Chain A
Amino acid sequence: MVRIRFTTLFAERIGGISAVEVSAGTVESALRALTDRHPELVPLIWKDEGTVNPVIVLFLNDRQLGPRQFGASVKPGDEIDIIPALEGGCGPPLSAAIAIAAPHPSGFGETQDVTSTRHWRP
């Protein structure tokens, strides 16, 4: 299995998961496997016509890959990092559900999944 790690920008879209393992023979097929499993990442990883989004940068085992190296072979145990080429544009990764909370005597608040309702009151 190849391990793919990514930043908060990606993780926040798939419930806070910051790394996944996939079976793949090349870097590009690893990305395909990733977005097959998590289609929410398609807009970030792929540009139109199936090319890799030009504002993401890929590292294979700590080595930065150029755009013509995405067909590079990978083997089990390899690690791919996906990084946005720009700083920011991302918040801290969220947990499985984004929670908001009302004031609560304990101070923690009662959490509620706001993915199910947008208009919330205590």
Chain B
Amino acid sequence: MRTCFSGPCNDPREVFYTRCSIDLPSHSVRIEDVPCRNLEDVLGGFGRSFQMLAERTVTHAFTPANPLIVNIGVLTGTNLMTGLRTYFSAYSPLKVSNRGLPAAMWATGSCKFGPKLRWTGLDEMVLEGRSNRPVLVVVQRGIGGPAVAFQPADHLLGLDCHGKIMRLHEQFPDAHFAVIGPAGENYESCYFAGVALSTENQLKSRNDKCRWAGRGGMGAIMGFKNVIGIVAQASDQVTRLKPEIRDINKEASGGPGSRKFREKEKGGLGGTWSNYVPLEEVSFVPQHNFRPTGDGRARLMFRETVEPEFVIKAESCFRCGISCHKNVYEKNPDGTRGRFLAKFDYEPVNLLSTNIGIDDPRKAAELISLVDQFGMDSISLGATIAYVLDYNDRHPSSRILNGATFGDFEKVKELVEGTGKGRFPEIGRGVKRLSEQLGEPGYAMHCKGLELPAYLPDTNPGYPWAIAGGHMSMATHLSLVLERDTSVGYWVKAITERGLYFVRDDLLGLCKFAALTAENAAQAVKHEIGLEITAQELLAAVRRAFIRALWLERKQGYERADYTLPSEVFDRPNTTLGIGPFVTREFFSELSDRVWSVFDPEIAAL
């Protein structure tokens, strides 16, 4: 990214980013400096990629017309702590309108691939068409700038994500990698395949510690394109740390915003895993396909319950002081750290244990590890498997697939492996399709085709307005437990005035866990690239990007009926919940009217 300010340093049109367009059928490459059209283009991430997607007509995810855009945010690869995000954007095979058209989607993950991509000299890659054979895209920083080459990738086929990365590491020792797993190779049967990103810790420890751009099937798109991996090879280009950035980093790593994710000895609360405790207080921890029973078994997965049996080590992404990774290891007889098992975060742990009736941390670790090996989104897979188990419970005489039911670890494991290998397309194509095929969509836990994270829909009527996953693109999933307000007016404000700004860091290239203030984020942009923006201008751009995403959903056939919750929320209220139930059809109808009365004019004005 470069600037050529002729006057005051505040015109985004005087900022240029470097885009590499790759025609996969011919392996031809065009690298160009592109002037930004607006602030969203400067900020990057989905703010830029969705503008490109808006210009395309795509009626099916698996067509050559669907580009895969791999880009970074303006702060990725800078000295700002957590500036580590890479974004993968495309029309999703998983998120589809009721009319059957694919929706624009992005997935993002941290760690060093994003910075390495920036250090090659590229801000964005656009993968067009489909390669005729499995290919590895190698981006290197050459003498005259970024250079792109292609290598056969047949030798990587069939390896799991970690195996692919370690093989590539031998070949490209100073590079980082984005790869798909077997699930991505079996994209036609596994729409929720994700993209694995290599980490420093992984390459050094040789443990399976990828980070993930998991949601929405971006790995499946990569698989369709026959791109098995992307290599970003450049020497580290760490520049002088400006005092202003140092101060922001200090605030991010030691301030209140990141306390939740830090360890207790670092003044924190121990990571997202600790969500179990306050959620269980009000029976909000999903059990039995998002239907808490109030039996208290969720406590078996509390960190405090699990910790004595294992060694839990807080580890971090490249140059991040928060150390949010809660990595679980075997405990040796002498109490020292043994074999690495899995990284525990609240969502995958819940969806691959408590929510499917498996209340055993060792089995949860095995499933999480297996899902990572195959390269699948643990949220989509976990929620879809929960639906299968629920269906089988409801139909004991006509069970589907292998007949698995809640708590049957061996059969669940078989479903996980089979899905990753492409043998269970019923699961791999997501819960929306499966439930519609079975004629029982009421308890399929998704909104707009994307499976719900581990927060109950009964407690979050804001889910339908999330644009790229329920807990990362609309921050209303914990509002009820935090404020206990069940009025329509509260929820309208929560969605239209607060929740949508959660996507701010999905433009900037930052991790949400740093919880930077908007003022600090704007300052960071100024100090890192020289563009002077205010916090208000930044937030205005974020809002435009969000509204544009809603516009894009309409372009792909989304209608008001698409914006709803699983019907069991209305039809079978769960009375075990500590607060509520409050989301009735009448409530939701009024909420919907009022939310659209805010968003509709803004969409029309785009």
CB distance from A50 to the nearest CB of B (A): 15
| A100 contact from B346, B478, B498, B543, Cβ within 8 A | B543
- A23–B13 alpha-carbon span in the complex (Å): 48
Assuming the contacts A89-B477, A118-B597, A119-B597, asked whether A8 and B539 have C-beta atoms less than 8 A apart, the reply is no
Bits for B516-558, please: 1 = Cβ < 8 Å to A, else 0: 1111010000000000011111011111100100000000000
B346 touches A87 (CB 8 A): yes
For B38, list chain A residues within 8 Å (CB). 103, 107-109
| A119 contact from B471, B516, B536, B601, Cβ within 8 A | B601
- Does A122 have its Cβ within 8 Å of any Cβ on chain B? yes
CB distance from A86 to the nearest CB of B (A): 5
A111 touches B537 (CB 8 A): yes
- Does B602 have its Cβ within 8 Å of any Cβ on chain A? yes
- Does A121 have its Cβ within 8 Å of any Cβ on chain B? yes
- Does B157 have its Cβ within 8 Å of any Cβ on chain A? no
| A89 contact from B277, B478, B541, B597, Cβ within 8 A | B478
A92 touches B477 (CB 8 A): no
Total A-B residue contacts, Cβ distance less than 8 Å: 180
- A9–B483 alpha-carbon span in the complex (Å): 11
| A44 contact from B37, B272, B482, Cβ within 8 A | B482
For A87, list chain B residues within 8 Å (CB). 260-261, 272, 275, 346, 478, 513
For B275, list chain A residues within 8 Å (CB). 86-87
Which of A18, A62, A101 has most chain B Cβ within 10 Å?
Answer: A101
A120 touches B518 (CB 8 A): no
- A95–B504 alpha-carbon span in the complex (Å): 13
- Does B499 have its Cβ within 8 Å of any Cβ on chain A? yes
Bits for B261-298, please: 1 = Cβ < 8 Å to A, else 0: 10010010100101101110100000000000000000
- Does B475 have its Cβ within 8 Å of any Cβ on chain A? yes
For A20, list chain B residues within 8 Å (CB). none
A100 touches B602 (CB 8 A): yes
Interface size class of B (residues with CB under 8 A): 35 or more
- Does B39 have its Cβ within 8 Å of any Cβ on chain A? yes
CB distance from A115 to the nearest CB of B (A): 8
Q: Among B110-118, B205-213, B251-259, which stretch is in contact with chain A?
A: B251-259
| B519 contact from A9, A16, A53, Cβ within 8 A | A16
Bits for A55-77, please: 1 = Cβ < 8 Å to B, else 0: 10101001010000000000000
B541 touches A88 (CB 8 A): no
- A111–B534 alpha-carbon span in the complex (Å): 11
B517 touches A18 (CB 8 A): yes
- Does B515 have its Cβ within 8 Å of any Cβ on chain A? yes
For A59, list chain B residues within 8 Å (CB). 256, 259, 267
- Does A91 have its Cβ within 8 Å of any Cβ on chain B? yes
Q: Which of B72-122 contact A (CB under 8 A)?
A: none
- Does B53 have its Cβ within 8 Å of any Cβ on chain A? no
- A103–B547 alpha-carbon span in the complex (Å): 12
Which applies to chain B's interface (DSSP): helix, strand, loop or mixed?
Answer: helix
- A50–B55 alpha-carbon span in the complex (Å): 54
A99 touches B605 (CB 8 A): no
CB distance from A96 to the nearest CB of B (A): 8
- Does B502 have its Cβ within 8 Å of any Cβ on chain A? yes
- Does B561 have its Cβ within 8 Å of any Cβ on chain A? no
- A119–B596 alpha-carbon span in the complex (Å): 11
- A7–B597 alpha-carbon span in the complex (Å): 30
- Does A93 have its Cβ within 8 Å of any Cβ on chain B? yes
CB distance from A111 to the nearest CB of B (A): 5
Q: Which of A1-44 contact B (CB under 8 A)?
A: 5-9, 11-12, 16, 18, 43-44
For B604, list chain A residues within 8 Å (CB). 121
Which of A90, A94, A99 has most chain B Cβ within 10 Å?
Answer: A90
A-B contact pairs, 21 of them (CB 8 A): A7-B259, A57-B269, A59-B259, A81-B256, A83-B259, A84-B260, A87-B261, A88-B471, A89-B481, A91-B499, A92-B505, A92-B515, A92-B517, A95-B519, A98-B543, A99-B537, A103-B38, A107-B41, A114-B497, A120-B602, A122-B605
Closest 5 CB pairs of A and B: A89-B478, A101-B540, A91-B501, A107-B38, A107-B12
Interface residues of B (CB under 8 A from A): 10-13, 36-39, 41-42, 255-257, 259-261, 264, 267, 269, 272, 274-275, 277-279, 281, 346, 471, 475-479, 481-485, 497-502, 504-505, 513, 515-519, 521, 533-537, 539-544, 547, 597-598, 601-602, 604-606
